[in-house]
Amino acid sequence: MREPSSPGSRAPTAPREPVTRSRRRATPRLGDRLPRPPAGTLVRARLHQRLDDAVARPVTLVAAPPGAGKTMLLAAWLSARARAGSGAAAWVALDGEAAALPALWARLVEGLGPATLRGAAPATPERVAERLLHVAETRPGRGPLVLVLDDLQDAGGPALSAVVAGLLRRPSRLRLVLSSRHDPDLPLHRLRVAGELAELRGADLAFTAPEAAQLLAGHDVQLAEDDLGQLVARTEGWAAGLRLAALSLAGHPDPGALVADFAGDDRAVVAYLIEEVLSRQPAPVRELLLRTAVVDRVSGPLADALTGEPGGQEMLEALVRANAFVVPVDRHGRWFRYHALFAGLLRSQLACRGKEAVAEQHRRAAVWLAADDRAADAVRHAALGGDWDLAEGVLAEHWIRLRLDGAAATLDQVVAMISADALERRPHVALVAAARSMDEGDGERAAALMRTAAGQRERLSGRRRALLTRDLSLLRLERARRRGDAEAGLRERAVAAAITRDDAHRDRVARAIAHLDLGRLQAAAGDPTAEGELRRAAELAQQAGTAGVEDAARAERAWLCACDGRLRQAALAADALLDRGGDSCEPALAVAHLARALVAAEAGNTLLARAELDRAGRAASAGGAHPDRLTELGLLLVHSRLLAPGDGDGAAAALAALEALLDGWVPPRAALMHARAAHARLLTRTGAAGETLRSEVSAAERDRDLSERPPLAVALAGAELAAGDPSGALERATAVADGLHVADRDAVAARAVAAAAAEVRHERRAAAALAEPDGLRLGLAEAAPAIDPVFAHLLRFGTSHRSLIGEVQELAASGTAAAAAADVEPLREELSERELAVLRYLPTMLTAGEIAAELFVTVNTVKSHLKSIYRKLDARGRRDAVRRARELGLVAPGRLNDGR
């Protein structure tokens, strides 16, 4: 049966002129019988261009399922070529009778015209081919003759194959365009290798969203963008499906609702697909299609398991060749899927056999998929088939990996299908429900479900019991880490440590997770063994091929280094993790962005720090995740470091957020120290009275272990300085500085406070301690304005760090940089390290000669670097280069001090 004119869009041929006594109809000639597309036919310019390019080759094959719009496309294309005078063409419509040579010749005569093919019918296919080649070579004009053979599948047979083979034996001006539902019996592979074949397949003919909108507009239907996208996705751009939808949508009061409900069980779709596809298949093939419709993808062996009969691979491959809405999904041709609407039809047909018939197919699929180690699909089909023994068995072995691999939707679907009573008897399903509750931020429900699972442990034995014990311990560790409760988490240390030592489980993923969560808790508590735990977690995760756990472990190490003041190590670790593929949206990597933000803040690169802080916030909440308390604290800590010195309102808001987070929660010891340091800095920023600051110092003094740790001690020294106690600030800051390496972040900040306090007391002995360790600026800037006289003294009497001091002054004066403009054009070519070094001096008042002296290079070298800098920044001079560098965050913000 040919494609109908409405959904399949078969173009009608030109109407015949009536024969009258007064005028005889002229004999049809070449091109007179081209089909005329209906008025309003959509012109698909991209496909017309594809066909124009294709006919440069001897053969063009347009092979697509019924209703794909092959005939309509070719008719519209030939009509456009005729209007443009692009060469001769002929159209031959084939049918089942044309399988015989006499009937085939009759169709050729009808298509090319009796004036073109004169004489008796040839006796052999070879002679037919010779006659056609003669027409192509002797016709007037210089261009090729395009011969379209439409509905080739209806006339398939030895006669047609022999004719086409004869046409391809030698080069000629004939261009064959073959339109068929399935691949013809021709040596297509040889034509492909020889470069003599162009192909348009179903995917090429699929309507794009703009084309679908035009098609719908022809039926006076307009859809919202989301509804249009949904309709195109549901139909996969299938022309017949879109036209059937358009007929249903025309005049409908709520087209959006109809689109949401449009599927393979729509009556119009059912009628079309049954008639044009399903009813044409032999009984065994129909049975295979129905029984395999329960799975999203099917292979030959899986089809055999679902039907109970062999031969599935051969049937599926035959359906692909026939373009029967079966699509291979891998290049090896082992796995297949059905067109979305066709799959919907098959499922609705299978459902007519009853619920038990459908459930049986799900159970069969689950057994095969579990044996093939396809856990996500296996557990879903087991649940759909009501086989909860199999579902729980798969979950017990694989739920951790499924959760890590992004199968949350499958886990949620399984949990939603089990009844409350059944959940009480299925401890591993309860554990999965607990884990998903934690992911959704419902800690109380998670705890209740974990108690339910623990209550069933005694009735288990062997490996199943060991797995439940292990997984309960892992979830308790995770819950403690999410709550920031190191004491509760470390109570699980003994069980978790047993997991990490016990190779009998042969599950490196669980062991990696145990090391990861223990390392997180130990880091928050200030345990020096934390870094070793995180290293081990990364190693095990790498061995297990679990990138998410490995990335999380490396991210935690980067954050640990940043919090400890090891900024160079933190930067290297964070950069190695995040620069592999751009911004990550995984919540586990939020701490890596935090680490990079903190490093950038300490270096005074507030533009980058703010961008990284924003990425950290987005990553922590990606996919609807709920950040744990320690991550929330990290976000607040970095945010507090980026507040401008004069931003009292911002400091007050950050202080309120920090106090709200700490309400009812005592963080682990190291995290508490950083929280109290931030609290002291924020109180100082709000301009609180001296008594308030002194009370904060007194509270810290009650816990000497915390108050003497560098980050908190420096913050308290700054508070004392702001409260008018320079002697106390100097004593505290000097004690910190003397105990740390000069390149340490806390040492730099301590020396800055000490220098500022000494200046207040008219002493300068601490000023000489100011150096340039790793380009750290924030610790110096935070001591402003008290440290400004120290800078003025050093500049007046000479220093080798004028660039650093200038940048610190600008950073203190301007606070944080405004967000970069959205239209700032990025660098097309990165600056070298030496060029960046020269660039840092451009906002200062130093001449080229003075910059050369600072860098211990020649003036000519500096001038060469300047020329390259101006070119890469697309700048006209020094001022323009500084402006552009500030937009890009390459130098600290502020006023340009040099007018040159």
Question: Which string of DSSP letters, residue by residue, matches 624-653?
Answer: G----HHHHHHHHHHHHHTS-TT-HHHHHH
pLDDT of residue 10: 40
The edge-to-edge listing of strands for the beta sheet with 335-338 is 298-299, 335-338, 326-328
Q: Which of 803, 800, 756 is nearest to 775 (CA)?
A: 803
- What value does the mean pLDDT take over residues 845-866? 84
Instruction: For residue 653, count CB atoms less than 10 angstroms from its CB and return exposed for 0-12, middle for 13-18, buried for 19 or more.
Output: middle
Residue type, position 6, single letter: S
Residue 748 tokens, joined: 């730099």
What's the confidence (pLDDT) of residue 896?
Answer: 34
What is the spatial distance between Cα 663 and Cα 523, in angstroms, rounded to a whole number? 22
User: What pLDDT is stored for residue 124 in this prediction?
Assistant: 93
Tokens linked to 84: 């443009």
Q: What's phi and psi for 87, nearest 5 deg?
A: 125, 170
Does the predicted TM-score (pTM) go above 0.85? no
- Asked whether residue 709 carries a pLDDT value surpassing 70, the answer given is yes
Residue 310 has pLDDT above 90, yes or no: yes
> Is the pLDDT confidence value at 347 over 50?
yes
Per-residue confidence (pLDDT) for residue 593, from 0 to 100:
92
Using CA atoms, how far apart are residues 778 and 784, in angstroms rounded to an integer? Answer: 10
Tell me if 196 sits within 8 A of 164, measured CB to CB.
no
d(CA 460, CA 804): 67
| Structural contact between residues 678 and 658, judged by C-beta atoms closer than 8 angstroms | yes
Residue pLDDT, tens place only, 93-121: 998 888 899 999 998 988 888 888 888 88
pLDDT at 42: 86
Encode pLDDT of 807-850 as tens digits. 555 555 554 333 333 345 667 687 887 888 888 788 766 788 88
The confidence score (pLDDT) of residue 246 equals 85
Dist CA 598 CA 193 (whole Å): 58
Top mean-pLDDT range of 125-139, 288-302, 517-531? 288-302
Report how far Cα 365 is from the mean position of its chain's Cα atoms: 29
CB 744 within 8 A of CB 570: no
Query: Three-state DSSP class for 12?
Result: coil
Is 16's pLDDT higher than 60? Answer: no
pLDDT exceeding 70 applies to what percent of the chain?
82
Helices 629-641 and 462-483 pack at an angle, to 10 degrees, of 30
Joined together, the tokens standing for residue 372 give: 């093939």
For 314, counting Cβ atoms within 10 Å of its Cβ (0-12 exposed, 13-18 middle, 19+ buried), the class is: exposed
Written as six digits, the tokens of 115 are 């004036």
Which of 63-77, 273-287, 492-506, 601-615 is least confident? 492-506
Give the HSE-up count for residue 117: Cα atoms under 13 Å, Cβ half-sphere: 22
Phi-psi region at 80: left, alpha or beta (left = phi > 0; alpha = psi -120 to 50): alpha
**Mean local confidence (pLDDT), 241-251:** 84
**Orientation of helix 408-417 relative to helix 388-404, angle to 10°:** 150
pLDDT grade, residue 582 (50/70/90)? very low
pLDDT at 1: 37
Q: Lowest-pLDDT range, 166-170, 206-210, 697-701, 755-759?
A: 697-701
Q: 456-488, pLDDT tens digit by residue?
A: 988 888 888 888 988 998 999 889 888 888 888
> How far is it, in rounded angstroms, from Cα 874 to Cα 805?
27
pLDDT in tens, 148-164: 999 998 887 888 889 98
CB 118 within 8 A of CB 135: no
Q: How confident is the model at residue 701 (pLDDT cuts 50, 70, 90)?
A: low
Cα–Cα distance measured from residue 434 to residue 499, given in angstroms and rounded to the nearest whole number: 20
**In the chain, pLDDT over 90 holds for what percent of residues?**
31
Burial tier of 175 (Cβ tally within 10 Å: 0-12, 13-18, 19+) = buried
Per DSSP, the three-state class of 93 is: strand
